[in-house]
Copies of this chain bind each other. A is one copy, B any other.
Amino acid sequence: MTMLPMTPPTKPSKPALSTTREENFPEWFQAVIKEADLAENSCVRGCMVLKPNGYAIWEQVQQQFDPMLKSLGVQNAAFPLFIPLQYFQREAKHAQGFATEVAVVTHRRLEMNADGVLVPAAPLEEPLVVRPTSEMIIGDSMSRWIHSHRDLPLKLNQWCSVVRMEMRPRLFLRTAEFWWHEGHSAHATAADAQEHTHETFKLYKEFVTNTLAVPVITGEKIPSERFAGAERTFTLEAMMQDRKALQAATSHYLGQNFAKAMGIEFQNADGAKEFAYTTSWGMSTRIVGAMIMVHADDDGLRLPPRIAPQQVIILPVIPKEELRSEVMAYAQKVKEALSALMYHGRPLAVAIDSRDIRGGDKNWQAIKKGVPLRIEIGPREVQSRQLVVSRRDLPTGSKGVFSLDQVVANVVAVLDEQQALLFNQAQAVLNSSIRTDIRTLDQLKQFYGAATDEEGQGGGQGWVRAKWCGDEAALEVLKPMKLTIRCIPLDADTSEGTCILTGRPATTEVLIAKAY
């Protein structure tokens, strides 16, 4: 049964955004971000600014995910931003993996030249790499902190930004600086480390699914797609509305590679020295981009209630100045009544848009910002003690008129319904866009051919689950189609079959897709 039932509009409204998903998905994505005022490109090439509306979403990610990490015994800490070059290159694959995109600090002051311009001065004896990830610098601390098996497991995390010098940035998806959390752990046994990799991975799935309402396929990366230096990499792959894949979070089992590189040794229970087994795992501001591309529509952002910085926005409509005080007083009363409710362990977040602009503008701005519930209050509502309520998940223009008591009694259930509806819509897209009937390279080319323009910018068309024989060289044929093996799904079918690329016998099932 639907709480607070709403009447759909008599005719659909024109899309609020200048570009629709259908017309041009990448432009639509930029339009959603711009109209919801989430982020912008900065004057520093490749670097974005997270504007207050965008940061508020990231702040919710931090506030809600951090306690989940702590429940695993993870401790927050903060490690240097810089990595001495010689440390950075201690693990060969790792260094190679990141060498092409690191910012390098070479000087430690500026001096005025003869033209009165500041130029770099005081060269450093050893250059410093701005962290692209912190295995090395945290490994260095671990090597000092860990002595005995009693010091293990050690589970550390930091919330910070990292830098990978991306020269073709796209807001949220690919920027030279991005924000993330990065967890790093050390264990006494390979089994314990692998178990921890799975635990963090399960946590990501729980958070992304339940809080961001983003369905995912979970799986393991094939060797060539692993994190540089990892022995195993697990990924959550989410499907965007253009059917491309986006890696939402990853969890890596690093074996003893980094422990050997950084000297993370401990005395085991038998008194012998052993290298620790380490893991790392992270989730970044990309996840906000994923959430946008999964849920937003042609009217702008749609925020799942559980991640929304505000669940409810009250829009006072004031046609005449003399009516202001009574409308605002009623709006305040409604806010107080709703703010007293609890929503998933925190007070329901309710805002009033008290700006002195037209009611219609307020309404459209709230739509474009994706606020789950809107409540309009004008002089008529004050008279009748009613509220005009709209849900962001129903077609724009749907409305219902309810008493404050009705809203108070049902708002939490309606928000839960909305959370479920957004998830179910995304799950339906995912389910209906995975093909298991494509078995040969020709079929694959035919399926993706139509959707791939020269830049590889076309839609993703869908995902394909098929057999692969494990031959990495055979993956070359996927490149012109901008396709990659996203993962070996955890629920992969392991029966005997035929490799989609080589036609050889194969048992491994993989997920193939175009990806962000």
Q: Are A44 and B107 in contact (CB-based, < 8 A)?
A: no
Cβ-closest chain B residue relative to A159: B159
Picked from B49, B85, B99, the residue with its CB within 8 Å of the CB of A109 is B99
Chain B residues within an 8 Å CB radius of A55: 75-78
Chain B residues within an 8 Å CB radius of A101: 108-109
B-contact 0/1 string along A48-92, CB 8 Å cutoff: 111110111011000000000000000111111111110111000
Q: Are A89 and B117 in contact (CB-based, < 8 A)?
A: yes
Cβ-closest chain B residue relative to A51: B77
The reply on A342 being an interface residue by CB < 8 A is no
* Alpha-carbon separation in the docked complex, A160 to B128 (Å): 19
* Alpha-carbon separation in the docked complex, A88 to B110 (Å): 11
The reply on A40 being an interface residue by CB < 8 A is yes
Cβ-closest chain B residue relative to A108: B165
Cβ-closest chain B residue relative to A101: B109
Given known A44-B128, A109-B165, contact A80–B120 (CB-CB < 8 A): no
Cβ-closest chain B residue relative to A83: B44
Q: Are B76 and A49 in contact (CB-based, < 8 A)?
A: no
Q: Are B80 and A47 in contact (CB-based, < 8 A)?
A: yes
B-contact 0/1 string along A167-184, CB 8 Å cutoff: 100000000010100000
Chain B residues within an 8 Å CB radius of A109: 99-102, 104, 165
Q: Are A44 and B84 in contact (CB-based, < 8 A)?
A: yes
The reply on A470 being an interface residue by CB < 8 A is no
Given known A44-B80, A76-B52, A89-B117, contact A110–B102 (CB-CB < 8 A): yes
Q: Are B44 and A82 in contact (CB-based, < 8 A)?
A: yes
The reply on A133 being an interface residue by CB < 8 A is no
Q: Are B84 and A43 in contact (CB-based, < 8 A)?
A: yes
Given known A40-B144, A77-B55, contact A99–B106 (CB-CB < 8 A): no
Chain B residues within an 8 Å CB radius of A112: 99
The reply on A512 being an interface residue by CB < 8 A is no
Q: Are A95 and B118 in contact (CB-based, < 8 A)?
A: yes
Give the A interface residue count (CB, 8 A).
Answer: 64
Q: Are B163 and A81 in contact (CB-based, < 8 A)?
A: yes
Given known A55-B78, A156-B52, contact A99–B104 (CB-CB < 8 A): no
Picked from B40, B83, B105, the residue with its CB within 8 Å of the CB of A104 is B105
Chain B residues within an 8 Å CB radius of A156: 52
Q: Are A106 and B106 in contact (CB-based, < 8 A)?
A: yes
Interface residues of A in 208-260 (CB under 8 A from B): none
The reply on A141 being an interface residue by CB < 8 A is yes
Cβ-closest chain B residue relative to A105: B103
Cβ-closest chain B residue relative to A87: B43
Chain B residues within an 8 Å CB radius of A76: 52, 55-56, 59
Q: Are A80 and B42 in contact (CB-based, < 8 A)?
A: yes
The reply on A502 being an interface residue by CB < 8 A is no
Least CB distance, A47 to chain B, in whole angstroms: 4
Picked from B47, B111, B137, B163, the residue with its CB within 8 Å of the CB of A44 is B137
Interface residues of A in 94-136 (CB under 8 A from B): 95, 99-112, 117-120, 127-130
Picked from B43, B50, B140, the residue with its CB within 8 Å of the CB of A42 is B140
Cβ-closest chain B residue relative to A112: B99
Given known A118-B95, A161-B81, A177-B80, contact A129–B144 (CB-CB < 8 A): no
- A interface vs B, CB < 8 Å? 40, 42-44, 47-52, 54-56, 58-59, 75-85, 87-89, 95, 99-112, 117-120, 127-130, 137, 140-141, 144, 156, 160-161, 163, 165, 167, 177, 179
Across the A-B interface, give the 6 residue pairs with the lowest CB-CB distance, nearest first.
A52-B75, A47-B80, A50-B78, A99-B110, A104-B107, A108-B165
| A–B Cβ pairs within 8 angstroms, 12 of them | A43-B140, A52-B77, A82-B103, A82-B177, A95-B110, A99-B109, A100-B110, A103-B128, A104-B107, A104-B109, A106-B107, A110-B129
